[in-house]
Structure 1
């Protein structure tokens, strides 16, 4: 997929209304806090990307809403995408008709890499769960539905567990067994589906991540699911953990407590890998995501790379640039130019 033209109004500190990238590689060059990251994020959002935190944080100070617009070209022709961000959230349109993120997932969209991806290695488990959930949601409407139903059942079960607590945390009585049995069954049903889909996804993702890491640095990257309960034992685990869950007022087992283990040459990366190695692992995960989506859509998503040179030695930079240059289109951002492709200078939200 190629981005032909991008427009914005009132998105953070961005001032120039129109951005036209070149074919192949485009690099946005500027100092810190000049708008490079904001421009990449705006492009990602209008293409249906994940919105972390609230939409309000993306709206320029003193404004009530922001607008984003993109013209893209896929193997099926050209499309026009729009997004409106307000305090309540965001709305999307595709070819001037209202649409949903589920429908936008039919397009290759974009994959954005950046320094924040270090959280995939060094951050808490919910960062890695989100990575898997967002990726799986791109592939499967069924997964999105399962996850929604699971979260609903989890909220209901936790509400029953909290009802058995006194103020201060002491257990008064066991919540009604009939209520718990219903939500235990729902969690086991949808949770086992989620775990099965995650396992199948990891079987496809892990080899691609291992290959991508080999291109960046020496060492063997391994990805493993760390599950609090196997899919076929989830109902049993929920029942077994009930006394502890009553004391905690929350559910201690299930997909919402699982993790993606990241190992480098057999050792926990978060504990033993250097910061440079962790950066390479994060890059490998995102490049594997890009390759997996490329195979799924039979078309490369737009690649967006923030701070493309940060914490990378010459070998890693060259490997990343070689991959970016092999694509129909990629947009980099950083303090310096790689010396190839179109260069766009940005300062105080104004580019030229």
Structure 2
């Protein structure tokens, strides 16, 4: 499933290019049998000849790929949509990835179909979901292939996720990567009262919109609330000695206690030094700075809470 074919920069067809050339350009070299006949004006004999000679390949019952090399992930998405019929949309994590979401590897292609439509047999690795709630604002009309809009995609990805942890991770990542913001997910959920994991999605979206964008920061916030500790300001903007904007993960302003959660990026020496320098500047100003690796929030939550409580008490918090 390599991306060697789709990864190449494709030249825009010339103005006098025929209809077939433009169709293949728009659809990453994938087309349905119906499109080949109706839009490209190819006879069944001409189509069979291209397949028999190896110029094209049959990807599904009525879906063709106009080459015989490896099929890319973008082409697999087109194959899935065309195989499912004209009302099919990419949905959930697949649509979110098509819209730019990074960091998730789901080999299943998720489609969203109206509940009333008849579905043709699907290729292996494609999963169809039905819905009775699909408004115009839930669809990206300029998307290729057709897909749900970012907020709807994230909500569906969370409710279809195999675990609560992945559902929270998808929502947090969507905010962190600026695919959604503000009340985007709340508006979708208002239109879909029977969404699975509704409460989890709402709480995660509320926290993420409030500034705790990463999953580790959301874990920290959950621990603080469970322990009855004060709620910090999240992603507070401070300026360093050079005037650059810096974001504090969690800051208890009244007591000047700053909590930083380090993710995997801190294995990079350049990132580590930048964070150490920022921490030193905060110490110089008089803040108490506590740092925890993200894994400690999950494996040693009692130790994390104990240190934060001790720092707050030392700074004057009365408990």
Q: TM-score, normalised by structure 2?
A: 0.27
Bigger RCO (CA 8 Å, 6+ sep): 1
Structure with the higher fraction of residues in strand conformation: 1
Q: TM-score, normalised by structure 1?
A: 0.25
